[in-house]
């Protein structure tokens, strides 16, 4: 739980990929802030054994639900945001679901690119579209989870970086077209945040010597946490950011300064 305080009482928030990692932290943070949280993911159970997100929120006295969702299917995203009607309507969508695979540029094939674009780009594009159609007339906030990979090239990640560059431009373009409907679209872009995005990712930061090498590009000399990203996401979804749209907020310990 964060020391930062936000209030989302009587708000309904949909989070994609909310079962594990950053998405789980975001969903739990909205739950702590009083929101009804709908988690759209392929499975309810987190990758590292723990109570499913929606159950954790309910145990804390909040309201939450799980909807099995393949974000690469636009119809599934429409069904997901439709679920918010049961709780008074959609107020916030967080497009967090994503996949990540380390594949050298010369080894990546069509299947690699199709898989990453299906989740990381189509999921965000059609998630924004489904949410905006639902929010028309009432307004709302959309937060897309991007990455420093939209601006920073690293070996073995061209296919992934391309998708995160697309997320940044989807955010800007959608914000422009939806501003007149009082629908704000922003992005949060994490730097290094050890999670189980892929198997063993968090373990890389357990050894002290490995950790020192991995955090060298970070001026704050530490990796981020899922809670760091959750706090930034809640800010962008809150009334405190009511005059902010089309922006990408980098949560990277200062990496982009360099």
What residues act catalytically? 147, 160, 164
**Residue whose tokens read 């950011």:** 241
Question: How many alpha carbons fall within 13 Å on the CB side of residue 21?
Answer: 24
Neighbours of 160 (CB within 10 A): 23
Which strands sit side by side in the sheet containing 183-190, from one edge to the other? 64-68, 36-41, 12-16, 92-95, 140-145, 183-190, 248-251
Tokens of 139: 């307004």
The set of residues, in sequence order, having a beta carbon less than 8 Å from that of 77 and lying 6+ positions away, is 16, 40, 69, 71, 123, 126, 127, 129, 130
């Amino acid at each position: 739980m964060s020391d930062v305080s936000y209030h989302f009482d009587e708000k309904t928030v949909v989070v994609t990929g909310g079962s594990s990692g950053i998405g789980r932290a975001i969903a739990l943070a909205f739950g702590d802030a009083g929101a009804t949280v709908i988690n759209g993911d392929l499975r309810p159970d987190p990758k590292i054994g723990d109570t499913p997100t929606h159950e954790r929120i309910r145990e804390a006295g909040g309201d939450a639900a799980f909807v099995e969702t393949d974000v690469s299917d636009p119809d599934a995203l429409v069904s997901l945001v439709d679920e918010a009607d049961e709780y008074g309507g959609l107020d916030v969508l967080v497009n967090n679901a994503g996949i990540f695979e380390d594949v050298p540029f010369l080894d990546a094939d069509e299947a690699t690119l199709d898989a990453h674009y299906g989740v990381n780009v189509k999921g965000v594009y059609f998630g924004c579209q489904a949410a905006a159609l639902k929010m028309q007339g009432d307004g709302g906030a959309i937060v897309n989870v991007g990455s420093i990979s939209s601006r920073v090239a690293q070996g073995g990640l061209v296919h992934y970086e391309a998708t995160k560059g697309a997320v940044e431009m989807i955010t800007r373009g959608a914000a422009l077209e939806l501003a007149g409907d009082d629908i704000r679209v922003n992005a949060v872009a994490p730097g290094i945040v050890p999670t189980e995005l892929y198997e063993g990712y968090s373990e890389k930061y357990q050894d002290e010597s490995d950790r020192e090498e991995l955090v060298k590009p970070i001026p704050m000399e530490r990796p981020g946490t899922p809670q760091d990203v959750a706090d930034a996401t809640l800010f962008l979804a809150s009334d405190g950011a009511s005059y902010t749209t089309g922006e990408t907020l980098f949560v990277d310990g200062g990496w982009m300064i360099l």
